[in-house]
Copies of this chain bind each other. A is one copy, B any other.
């Protein structure tokens, strides 16, 4: 008798981890532009320690004993949603261990094997792999400089309906999209929400980067346009506070929020980390910190963009209005998969474009993160990238 005999069918095959560790450096110390990490100089370490001291001194039992999530964190999230025009309600908020936990719970509530899920092409494959593992059939919807192509979305929904298929949800990153940097225009947002209601498809609006706007006016989220409960808005404190705390959230129809919670294996997210985040954010500190982050990342984005124009004049990109990434179209004839090993030899790493599509496309693109790398290294990084491109031709 084997232990493996006891495994459920879905646990028989060991799946590869969705979140892989970054690769090791080559001979030259590597500068990696591959991952959307926070800039460590902007992690508010002292203020977080101070917040930890305050919350434990205030009421140790509420913070360190068995206790529910901090109510005031839900209040804060609801207030920020209201400012975006969302009719937010604390009872419709689920606080989770990072937005990735929300995305990991979605399949339990929404995906039967064989169900169709719509994703942007390109998109954040970490999320998409979680849907694919649950047996979803993934259908890509193209993205252009204005974000998701809504005419294509309409056509796909129409064709699927004709074939008797009702997709479970559309996974969309509308603002400073990962990886393309594109922001869905107001008109398109309205169209997506209208299509969602018309076809009875949920929109999972992952707005991880929305607060990191460098220029222009904020656009209302799709959740603010949704009157019939077809949008689940997903957010995170990872990009605006600290990824290592693992705090994200979702707001949406109560029936859906309640069911996501039902499958959250540990119950609530615990009092310590939720009080810590709420305490840090209090008294306007979060908004002041976001203002500093916007300024900081805007400067790094501009630095990278200028270096790219100088070192790789044949490569093209749409300048993002916010976020962590530049999505670079390589010079004609250069393929990211062939470029990658050459780049590693030159001491520079990026995310190959085909890592952002579920069907292997994207080889003419690479994703460059300007978020973590020190400003002083960004120019050197792009210089190395230029040398790698030259060497690969």
List B contacts of A269 (CB < 8 A): 97, 246
Known: A43-B60, A266-B96. A21 touches B68 (CB 8 A): yes
Q: Is the CB of A255 within 8 A of B3?
A: yes
A28 at the interface (CB under 8 A from B): no
Chain B interface: which of A5-13, A213-221, A300-308? A5-13
Chain B interface: which of A100-108, A325-333, A343-351? A100-108
Q: Is the CB of A65 within 8 A of B49?
A: no
Partner pick for A64 among B10, B45, B266, CB 8 A cutoff:
B45
A185 at the interface (CB under 8 A from B): no
A390 at the interface (CB under 8 A from B): no
Q: Is the CB of B267 within 8 A of A18?
A: yes
Partner pick for A14 among B63, B246, B259, CB 8 A cutoff:
B259
CA distance A259 to B12 in the complex (A): 9
CA distance A256 to B6 in the complex (A): 10
Q: Is the CB of B11 within 8 A of A253?
A: no
Interface centre among A19, A242, A261 (most CB of B within 10 A): A242
List B contacts of A97 (CB < 8 A): 97, 266, 269-270
Q: Is the CB of B244 within 8 A of A66?
A: yes
Partner pick for A244 among B65, B110, B372, CB 8 A cutoff:
B65
Q: Is the CB of B101 within 8 A of A6?
A: no
A268 at the interface (CB under 8 A from B): yes
Q: Looking at the assembled complex, report how far the CB atom of A152 sits from the nearest CB atom of chain B, in whole angstroms.
A: 22
Partner pick for A98 among B14, B63, B266, CB 8 A cutoff:
B266
Chain A interface residue count, CB cutoff 8 Å, equals 85
List B contacts of A46 (CB < 8 A): 56
Known: A45-B57, A60-B43, A266-B246. A65 touches B372 (CB 8 A): yes
CA distance A328 to B259 in the complex (A): 37
A92 at the interface (CB under 8 A from B): no
Partner pick for A267 among B19, B109, B261, CB 8 A cutoff:
B19
Q: Is the CB of A109 within 8 A of B11?
A: yes
Interface of chain A residues 31 through 58 with chain B (CB within 8 A): 35, 37-38, 40, 43, 45-46, 48-49, 52-53, 56-57
List B contacts of A244 (CB < 8 A): 63-67, 270-272
A186 at the interface (CB under 8 A from B): no
Q: Is the CB of A60 within 8 A of B37?
A: no
Q: Looking at the assembled complex, report how far the CB atom of A16 sits from the nearest CB atom of chain B, in whole angstroms.
A: 9
Partner pick for A40 among B45, B65, B110, CB 8 A cutoff:
B65
Q: Is the CB of B243 within 8 A of A65?
A: yes
A1 at the interface (CB under 8 A from B): yes
Q: Looking at the assembled complex, report how far the CB atom of A63 sits from the nearest CB atom of chain B, in whole angstroms.
A: 6
CA distance A160 to B96 in the complex (A): 40
CA distance A199 to B238 in the complex (A): 47
List B contacts of A18 (CB < 8 A): 267
Interface residues in chain A, defined as those with a beta carbon under 8 Å from any beta carbon in chain B: 1-11, 14-15, 17-19, 21, 35, 37-38, 40, 43, 45-46, 48-49, 52-53, 56-57, 60-61, 63-68, 96-98, 100-101, 103-105, 108-112, 130, 166, 168-169, 199-200, 202, 229-230, 238, 242-246, 253, 255-256, 258-259, 261-273, 372
What are 13 A-B contacts defined by CB distance under 8 Å? A1-B166, A3-B202, A3-B255, A6-B169, A6-B200, A7-B110, A8-B110, A11-B263, A14-B255, A15-B262, A96-B266, A97-B266, A245-B272
Using A1-B166, A67-B243, A265-B265 as known contacts, list a sample of 9 further A-B pairs with CB atoms less than 8 Å apart, ordered by residue number in A: A6-B168, A7-B259, A8-B109, A11-B259, A40-B64, A43-B61, A63-B244, A98-B266, A98-B270
